[in-house]
Amino acid sequence: MNFPILDTKVYNKRLVYLDNAATTQKPKQVVDELNNYYLTLNSNIHRGTHHLATLATERYEAVRRQVQRFINARSHREVVFTRGTTESINLVASSFGWKYLKPHDEVIVSGMEHHSNIVPWQLACERAGAKLKVIPFSDEGVLDMEVYESLFSEHTRLVACNHVSNTLGTINPVREMTEIAHRHGVMMLVDGAQAVAHMPVDVQDIGCDFYCFSGHKMYAPMGVGVMYGKEEVLNELPPYQGGGEMIQDVTFEKTTYNELPFKFEAGTPSVGDVLGLGAAIDFMQEVGIDNIARHEAELLDYATRKLLEIPRLRIYGTAPHKAGVISFLVGNSNSYDVGTLLDKVGVAVRTGHHCTQPIMDRYGITGTVRASFACYTNKEDIDALIAGLNKVLPLLD
């Protein structure tokens, strides 16, 4: 079996893993790649001339080109490895803020962002004396595009929006949003953490200036992510961190910086995790990203219909264009209580605010139960969720 962890028993029940928006499970070939690196290739990259260092460097840089092809970047120099989406966004927010943000400038974010795409911009705005503007969304979880366009002014410098909401499942029109931003002479950052494992992503087609995502949400190990940036934009930004690898020449009087992408990759990287990311991309392409998208769309439709048959259940996020994420509550039940009881019957879901407190404030709730899908999720898993809810909900009345 590709995913041995799915054979796990939870309280003598079959594990039904529906927490994929938090992290996906890892196929055996990804774990094997990680093990193989530490058992046969372990070496620091780029700086060594010995055999292991050369092999590790070649493999590492091959994954960079693999990521380039996977998201259709123009050049491998546009692919910067990070520890995950959070670090990718912080990198951009810090470097962009230092370079471009001035007092009275503005950054636009959507009202459905993960905290990782809110707080870094708040910090950048606080440092610069700039202002954060927010795109509202409807009860269904759809961004108000008329308000979005009205938010631009001569002081707007950047828009940051997720491709897919981790709580509502909304697939946002990031290509259209980018076109609007560029018409106003404004750069666009897309948080793709919840998109890359579930649908084809073409950064040139989207047109965005930055696209950020994590490996662990796309079947790769934790601790690795990607920050894509247009080459001409990255060339203008200052480094995010200082240290080894990102330098060209260092004296006590002045330091000159390395070429892209190394200017943004200070220190020793997590080489094994990057190789695991390559194996994860191989796995996804073997399954077929279009096949994954179709499969999850069918599951979303099936699960939505089944859940709405449960009395007093309400779904938060009913946009016409959604990914495989369903957030819900039943009656007055607390999300934590529902999730805890579901765990007792082997069903793993996520509860709480999902690092999207502004969304919860928008609906006047404290949290939801969230079920989220992956390529290995099936209708039997959905049926187990429904059966589990029907079993545990009477205990909460």
Provide the annotated active-site residues.
Answer: 355
Spatial strand order of the sheet with 325-330 comes to: 313-316, 325-330, 368-372, 350-352
Cα 60 to Cα 80, 168, 279: the distances in Å are 12, 35, 12
Residues comprising the chain, all counted: 397
Cα 188 to Cα 79, 139, 316: the distances in Å are 16, 25, 27
Cα-Cα-Cα-Cα dihedral sign, residues 134, 139, 141, 143 = negative
